[in-house]
Each structure stands twice: as C-alpha cells, then as structure tokens.
Homo-oligomer: A and B are copies of this chain.
Amino acid sequence: LKKYWSELAKGLTPYVPGEQPKLNNLIKLNTNENPYAPSPKVREAIDKVCSERLRLYPDPECSRLKAAIARRHGVGADRVFVGNGSDEVLAFCFPAFFGPARRILFPDITYSFYKVYAAFFGIPYETVPLREDFSLDAEDLSRPCGGVLLANPNAPTGLAMQRRGIEQIARHCESLLLVDEAYVEFGGESAVDLTAELDNLLVVKTFSKSHSLAGMRVGYAIGHQGLIEALECVKNSFNSYTLDVLAQAAAIAAIEDDAYCAEQLRKIRQTREWTAGQLQDMGFCVLPSSANFLFIRHPEKTGAQLMQQLRGKGIIVRHFEQERIRDFMRVTIGTQPQMQQFVRELGALV
C-alpha cells in the first residue's frame, strides 16, 4: 500500500483530532466548541452572499475580513494574516519562520499538533518541562533557540501565563515567539498589543471557540508587517484561496458583533466556575482554567476509565494517553443544563 509514498510520508504520525460523532443526542464536551450558536448576524451574512458569488473565486487576500479583524484589535490591516482555521495559520508559521538548523522550543504538555507540524516540515524541536503544577517558568524559554511556541492559555491544562511573562520571553528570544491564543477570550491576557513594539512576536487566534465558528474554519495572526508578509509568501506558495466566500462573510459578521460574543463568553465563564466548584466538592483536582474547558483528575479513577463510563451515559469528553497527564480528562464547558447533567452523571460514577 505504501509503494508510492515519499520517505517523508512514510515517517509521519498525523495528529488525531477529537471525535466528531455522527450521533445527535450526545452531550459533546470533547473538542472545546462553544455551546452557543454564533451571532444571528452570521446567518444573515451567509444568506446575503448571492448564489452568483459562489461561481467566482473568493478574494484571495481576504481584504474585508482582514480590515474587520484589524478594526477589532486596533491595528493596521497589513498586520493581519488569515487562514483556514488557526491550525493552518500555525502550519504556515513553520516553513515561514523556522529552519532545520536550530531547534525550536515548546512545553512538554501543550497542543499536540506542534510536534506534528515540526515533523512534517523537518524542524527540530525540544520540549521544555512544565513545573509540577503545570505552570510555565518564563525563564525556561528565555534562551537562544530557533523559535518558541506557546499556547496561552495552555491546552489541555487551561492554565494562563500573564502578559509580562510573554513579554519577557519575547525580549530574550532573538528568534520568533509564537503565542497561540485560541482560548484567550475565556479569561487570559492577550499579547496582541505587545506586537506593536515587539517585531518578533506573532499572536495566533481563531474564530472557532470565542466566536462559535468551528464549522467555518477561520483563524488569524497579528504581528509585525514583516512577519505577516512571510506568512503571505508561504500561503501563496501553497494555496491562493484558502478561505471560501461564505467563511469570509461569516467571520466578518461574527467579529463585528462583539456584544453578542461577549455575552456568550460571560455565560461560559460563569458555568465554568460553577462546574469547577462542583467537581472540587466531589474530590476532583481541578486545574485553574482560563479557557472554555476544565482539566480534571480524580484521586482514584483514571481519565481513561471515567471517559469510557461517561460515554456510556451519552457524554463525551477527551483523554490524552500521554505521560504526566494520563490520569486527567479534559471537559469542554457546555451550556449550564449540560454541565448540570455532566456533574450529576459524574457524581454517580465516583
């Protein structure tokens, strides 16, 4: 079967995304989606794109979307790059900024796609151990290297690093610092404003979580114009049109309706705090989360066990078979009624 595979392809171990079950009546707390639908303005925007537009190529520069993102963050549109989900933006960063000669650094416990990108693009890396409590010591990443990757808040732990930690790392790093802020709107401190003075800081964000648009695949990066140009150069060597016309329309509508979004974020944070309290009362260790998920461990039952048992109750959560965290499970914050049911079912299991 692998007769015509390249040597590179033979050596790849792809990323495995969380399950997207085809069943409808599950409580889906496994892939950190937003439990609330996107702004009604998104639907209106999609409906307004006339059928005639579907036959034409989309704007390859995504100019209107970049302008909307730029306005929202108070930066120039030439400091914004957009891609097919933040996963694609992250993927483009590897060939744009990293090379085979110098190792890049990222924490040992973080988004597991980073090492997959590194292998795919032939970039050597070194993982930096988080502290015992899964927090990150900025010192550990403040040393010469080919680049630094940080998810802030981190996944799957949910722990956030303060902006001054990010700043310290960027100032000590003579190469690129990439901060993946997929979850920052749920409680972290964004580093976007630091990009105005730090030309080696690139902040990557997504519409998937905070703007309830995981289904539409839109991510972006903000940084110095020189960094954005490198990403454009890589993108245009790979695929000219990565965002279709409806994805662009949906994302513009979503980011322009910030008031709607803020209200959903408030509800999710409130439900997260309620859920964390309930779990602690049940004896769970609950890491302090700044994201839309909780990373939890029971003193007696393993994450894999509990995940299996919850699945039997129609609730899916995520478990990672990885050293240091295999006792944990990651639970997305759903609606308040969903989390009440989750807490009830889990209570019956432990």
Contacts and interface: CB of A to CB of B under 8 A. Distances in A.
A213 B31 CA distance: 30
A226 B3 CA distance: 8
A51 B41 CA distance: 11
Chain A contact residues: helix, strand, loop or mixed: loop
Contact of A54 (B22, B42, B99): B42
A54 B96 CA distance: 30
Contacts of A241: 17, 85, 87, 217
A213 B58 CA distance: 10
Contacts of A4: 97, 175-176, 199-200, 226-227, 230
Contacts of A214: 54-58
Given A2-B226, A2-B230, A230-B5, A239 B56 contact: no
Nearest to A88: B239
Interface stretch (A6-14, A129-137, A157-165, A185-193): A6-14
A98 B85 CA distance: 27
A222 interface: no
Nearest to A225: B1
Interface string A171-200: 000011000000000000000000000011
Given A239-B91, A244-B244, A55 B213 contact: yes
26 contacts: A1-B229, A2-B229, A3-B226, A4-B226, A4-B230, A6-B97, A9-B230, A9-B233, A12-B237, A14-B236, A17-B57, A20-B59, A22-B59, A31-B57, A37-B52, A37-B55, A38-B55, A53-B215, A55-B213, A56-B215, A58-B217, A87-B239, A120-B234, A216-B246, A217-B242, A247-B247
